[in-house]
Amino acid sequence: MKANRAFELIVTRDGREPTFLADPTRLDRVEVVSVADGEVVLFWELPAKEAARLLRKLREELVSFEVEEFKRAWGLE
C-alpha cells in the first residue's frame, strides 16, 4: 500500500501570504499523521521557506513510497 494512504499531511501556516512573500520570522508547522489511529508520527516547526521544501519532499515520497519504505526513510521503525 502506498504511504499516502496510511499517512496524512497537515500544514499550519502562521500567515496568509505565500511562502516567497513570508516574513523571515514566520514559523509553519508540518505534521505527518497516521490515518489508522490519528496519532502524530512526525512533527516540525520551521521557517516558511524550509517548511515548503520539506512539504514538497514529503508529498513526493508519500506518493512514491510504500508504507514500510516511507517508515524506514523517515526513521519510524
Average pLDDT, the chain: 95
pLDDT tens, residue by residue, 36-57: 999 999 999 999 999 999 999 9
pTM for the whole thing?
A: 0.90
Tell me the DSSP string of the chain.
-BHHHHEEEEEE-SSSS-GGGS-TT-EEEEEEEETTT--EEEEEEEEHHHHHHHHHHHHHHHHHSBHHHHHHHTT--
